[in-house]
Structure 1
Amino acid sequence: MVDEALRRRAVDTVWSLYRAKHRDVDAADSRRCLLQRHLQGRWEARVSEVEELTGFGLAYLNRLPKDEC
């Protein structure tokens, strides 16, 4: 499904950018799951542009407390 591929691309992009800035975060960190759920909700709310989802995702991760997970 094309829509699903675009959402996954946004998640992958956000996660890569976040980990580049926060080198102490492991690739399997549970924040990725939180990010996926957050962007799924945005996707369902009709935010369907990858760039817009990326912005929402980065803002979401930056708001999470360090001990959230």
Structure 2
Amino acid sequence: MVDEVTVRRAAETAWTVYRAAHPDVDVHDSRRYLLECFLHRRREERESDAEELASFGIAYLHQLPEDEG
């Protein structure tokens, strides 16, 4: 079972860091949804804490195309 609090905390951290580096990205950009889906899958695949998931999430966001939003 995916720990929703851990995934939400990781997604929020990763999204905040990503947006700090990319201030032109809108708060409601579709990459946020993609990030959350990615982190849910990642959490289901292996046990991770919020900090580790956030790191995976930041790396994932940097891989997405700039025009994904």
**TM-score, normalised via structure 1 length:** 0.90
Q: Which has the higher helix share?
A: 2
Match of 1:37 in 2: 37
Where relative contact order (Cα < 8 A, 6+ residues apart) is larger, the structure is: 2
Query: Could you tell me whether the CA contact under 8 Å between 1:19 and 1:25 is conserved in 2?
Result: yes
Match of 1:67 in 2: 67
Partner deviation per Cα, 1:11-59 (whole Å, 9 max, x = no partner)? 0000011001100001000000000010011010123211110111000
Gaps of 5+ in 1: none
Match of 2:58 in 1: 58
Query: Between Structure 1 and Structure 2, how many residues are aligned?
Result: 67
After TM superposition, the structure 1 = structure 2 runs for residues 18-29 of structure 1, keeping only pairs within 5 Å, are 18-29=18-29
Alpha-carbon distance between aligned partners in 2 of 1:24 and 1:57, rounded to the nearest angstrom: 19
Regions of 4+ moved over 6 Å? none
**TM-score, normalised via structure 2 length:** 0.90
